[in-house]
Amino acid sequence: MSLYQYAREGNVERLRDALGSDSAAVRKRALELLGELADENDQASIDAIMRAAMGDADEQVRGAAVDALDAIGPDAVEQFLAEVTGSKRSEADWVTAERFARALGAERPELRMAAANALGRLGEPSTLPAVVEALSDPDPRVRLRACQACGAFADPRAIPALIERLEDDPRVRRAAANALGGIATDRALDPLIDLLDDADESIRRIAASALGKANNPRPVEPLARALGDESAIVRNAAVYSVIELLSNVPTKHSHDVRDRVVSELKAADDETVVEPLVEILTQGRQTRQRRNAAWILGRVAEPDSEVAVAALADALADDDAQTAQFAATSLRSLGGTTVETELLGRLDSEHPDDVRAKAVFVLGAIGGQETLNRIEELTNDESKAVRKRAFSAVSKLRAGGV
């Protein structure tokens, strides 16, 4: 039976047995699964993981053991540190944090790794200088976890040292980029702009994802270039960040950014842009981002894009009135047969009156003879809002020569 099957069954005993395997890869994977399955009451697993952290012949396995203890919880990490240092565990948090900070200077790299993990979790401000210093540790496994801890602190004081780690081992570079993205000040994000051209796909994705947090329009054009990235995950991250940037940028920059965003997105491949915009509109949880997605779709999607039109038509029923209004104006901007057909299907009484009224409003601007015939029937609708829109739409369509 495989380790995966043992994990599915919750068989931690078999996973502990796998720690005696001759294969380092098997031992490492068993530790990763134990970290996911065991809890702080599973002392047998914690003891087995601590033995691996202190005695396994393979450094990657020892590192996996440290991370497994961290995944189980703070008590497991403290047990490990107490076991190695001989310290007491019944201390105030700040005392514990100071002890962990001292452990960053320990001879055993596994102890330094565990200390960095623990300090990131505790977040005691007084220990940040020690964590920043650990970014220069001779062991890349320690530097990796120090980067992750700095990301948890999200303190701008770590920025210069994190920037230096962008030239490090690949895993450390990724952790440093993630940490800078978590700090998210303009000073932290600026170095990530250059990483959009990095050879490492993961680095490009991290940079693209983080740059949407900027408070200035500088990342717009670099993110727009990333819309042509060979990697789909990088392109997707870039679209999300462009929308986030538009949502977060200060008001004084908003008009400039909005114009540049539309210009750059129009120049990109339609499928690359439309799919994530539709996902933001239909599944997003942040109102401002969904509003912007609804607004931009009307300016960058093709009029015959069925997925965009359907998403905008669905958004006519959105709980947020401004999102619904942006969806209506975007449908009007797109126009065409696809929009007309979609909205004619929204006129039936099974749809909410406000949706029907918005559909009539759009159809009054884009419809043809079939639309005119259908809307004329609605001048006797039971809904006052629908009737009002219907009379106005009929008038516009006739005035337009329909």
CATH number (domain holding residue 66): 1.25.10.10
Tens-digit pLDDT profile for residues 140-164: 999 999 999 999 999 999 999 999 9
Asked if residues 311 and 342 have their Cβ atoms less than 8 Å apart, the reply is: no
Q: What's the N-to-C CA distance of the chain in angstroms? A: 72
pLDDT tens, N- to C-terminus, the chain (402 residues) = 789 898 899 999 999 999 999 999 999 999 999 999 999 899 999 999 999 998 899 999 999 999 999 889 878 887 887 777 665 555 556 777 888 888 899 888 988 998 999 899 889 999 999 999 999 999 999 999 999 999 999 999 999 999 999 999 999 999 999 999 999 999 999 999 999 999 999 999 999 999 999 988 889 889 888 888 889 899 889 988 988 888 777 766 667 777 777 777 777 766 778 888 999 999 988 898 899 999 999 998 999 999 999 999 999 999 999 999 999 999 999 999 999 999 999 999 899 999 999 999 999 999 899 999 999 999 999 999 999 999 999 999 998 776
> What is the tally of structural domains in the chain?
2
At a CB cut-off of 8 Å and minimum separation 6, what does 321 contact? none
User: Which amino acid does the sequence have at 344?
Assistant: L
**Which range marks the domain in which residue 72 is found?**
1-90
Q: What angle do CA 13, 44, 123 make, to 5 degrees?
A: 115
Residue 46 lies in a domain: yes
d(CA 295, CA 281): 10
Check if the beta carbon of residue 45 is closer than 8 Å to that of residue 17. Answer: no
Beta-carbon neighbour count of residue 331 at 10 Å? 32
Identify whether the C-beta of residue 273 lies closer than 8 Å to the C-beta of residue 240: no
Q: How far apart are CA 210 and CA 227, in angstroms?
A: 15
Q: For residue 26, is it within any domain?
A: yes
Domain presence at residue 233? no
CA angle 222, 226, 228 (to 5 degrees): 130
CA distance 135 to 150: 9
334, 362 contact by CB (below 8 A) = no
Examine residue 324 and state whether it is found in any structural domain, yes or no. no
Round to whole Å and give the CA distance between 264 and 224. 6
Q: Final residue of a domain: which of 90, 109, 141?
A: 90
**What pTM does this model have?**
0.74
3-state secondary structure of 53: helix
Tell me, yes or no, whether 330 lies in a domain: no
Cα(216)–Cα(252) distance, integer angstroms: 10
Instruction: Out of 90, 105, 129, pick the residue that ends a domain.
Output: 90
Closest CA to 35 of 55, 15, 21, 56: 15
Give the alpha-carbon dihedral of 230, 234, 239, 245, to 10 degrees: -130
**Chain segment 218-272, per-residue pLDDT in tens:** 898 898 888 888 898 998 899 889 888 887 777 666 677 777 777 777 777 667 7
Last residue of a domain, one of 67, 90, 113: 90
Contact of 346 with 357, CB cutoff 8 Å: no
Q: Does the residue 49 lie in any domain?
A: yes
The residue count of the chain comes to: 402
Please state the separation of Cα 297 from the chain's center in Å.
21
Please report whether residue 129 resides in a domain. Answer: no
Burial bucket for residue 90 (CB in 10 Å: 0-12, 13-18, 19+): exposed
User: Which two three-digit tokens encode residue 210?
Assistant: 């983080």
Closest CA to 20 of 30, 12, 10, 11: 30
> What is the C-alpha separation between 347 and 343, in angstroms, rounded?
7
**Helix ranges (DSSP H) in 305-368:** 306-315, 321-334, 336-344, 353-366
Q: Is position 285 within any domain?
A: no
